[in-house]
Amino acid sequence: MLSRIAESLFWIGRYIERAESTARLLDVHLQMVVEDPWVEEEMAYATLLSIMGCGEQPQPNRATVIRLLAYDETSPWSIARCLSGARENGRRARETLSTELWEVLNTTWNTLPSGRWRASRDSIFFRWVRERTSLVAGVADGTMSRDEGWHFLVLGRSLERADMTARLVSTTVVSRGPTAAWPTLLLACGAREVFLRTYRGHEADREAAEFILLDRLFPRSIVHSLGQAEESLEQIAGLEQRVGVHDEALRVLGAARAGLEYTPLTDVVSRLPELMERVQRACSSASDVIARRYFQGAPTMSWVGE
């Protein structure tokens, strides 16, 4: 597979996942600020922007958060920029995408400049983003062969999902404290119903933390996402090694996953900010290694390819 095509598919997976996860995070976090009288708004907004990588903003408020993380196409962290980036990378890899997948990406991008979303409630926009990104994922699942291209897309999606779930955990815990965080996190990840079914209606912080961080079957848990990224890497590299792990990206992701799986849950919960930062660093490091190995010679990619 051409490195240009592989890189475009990898970034389509990342952009679409980031758009969906950002919409989930904003929807739940902004509602939390409105409903919880004990939350200090400016600090909550500053924490959210910092964890999303926006740096320090003077006197952050709701309008600043919405502008930087939702609608502003010039902001490298926004949902609009991610959807634009997914469409641009789809255009680069047009010859390998199914017509259905290209139409979904293109239609989603063309809807953004209409301005209709700024005139509606923010929650309606976030729901639309979740629906469109789910449609992209569903069309990709139903129309792509399970070849290298598919695994590059899944690899990008899985890395981004692990990273964004770690950001969700960090944002909610820092803003509300560990005792109030987990119900909010379950809602943000779309996991409340499946969590209650899994634990037979028993809702407690310990079980919720275990589910979001360590459950091997729930697709948005950090351990599942890291494991999915490892599986895709193994398929791409065609690894059949009898001794050790010689792929650096696999080593980084495996160490991050094992660090969560083999640490007692009590220690994981007590060290959440540190461990979530470690997961984010592992995803970033693995992405850099993958870029050097598979995308060498392709134009350098940022959040939106130019």
Counting residues of the chain whose pLDDT is more than 70, the rounded percentage is 88
pTM more than 0.75: yes
Which of 13-17, 44-48, 237-241, 280-284 shows the lowest mean pLDDT across its residues?
Answer: 237-241
What SS3 string covers 294-306? Answer: HCCCCCCCCCCCC
Q: Which long-range contacts (CB under 8 A, 24 or more apart) does 28-33 make?
A: 28/172, 28/184, 28/187, 28/188, 29/171, 29/172, 29/175, 29/188, 30/62, 30/65, 30/66, 30/122, 31/123, 32/172, 32/175, 32/176, 32/184, 33/62
Task: Tell me the average pLDDT across 269-285.
Answer: 90
Quick check: 278 and 59 in contact, CB under 8 A? no
- On average, the pLDDT of the chain sits at 85
- Identity of the residue numbered 89: N
Contact yes or no for 294/236 (Cβ under 8 A): yes
24-38, 98-112, 239-253: least confidently modelled range: 239-253
Alpha-carbon gap, residue 92 to 157, rounded angstroms:
18
Over residues 36-50, the mean pLDDT reads 80
Mean pLDDT, rounded, for 202-213: 82
Q: Are 212 and 189 in contact (CB under 8 A)?
A: yes
Task: Convert 217-246 to b/e letters by CB count within 10 Å (16 or more is b).
Answer: ebebbbbbbbbbbbebbbbbbeeeeeeebe
The alpha helices in 93-147, defined as continuous H runs, are: 99-111, 122-143
pLDDT band for position 126 (50/70/90)? very high
Mean pLDDT, residues 94-99 taken together? 91
Confidence of residue 306 (pLDDT cuts 50, 70, 90): very low
pLDDT at 181: 67
In sequence order, the 6+-apart residues with CB closer than 8 A to the CB of 247 are 233, 237, 239
94-108 mean pLDDT: 93
User: What average pLDDT score do residues 85-100 get?
Assistant: 93
Confidence of residue 40 (pLDDT cuts 50, 70, 90): confident
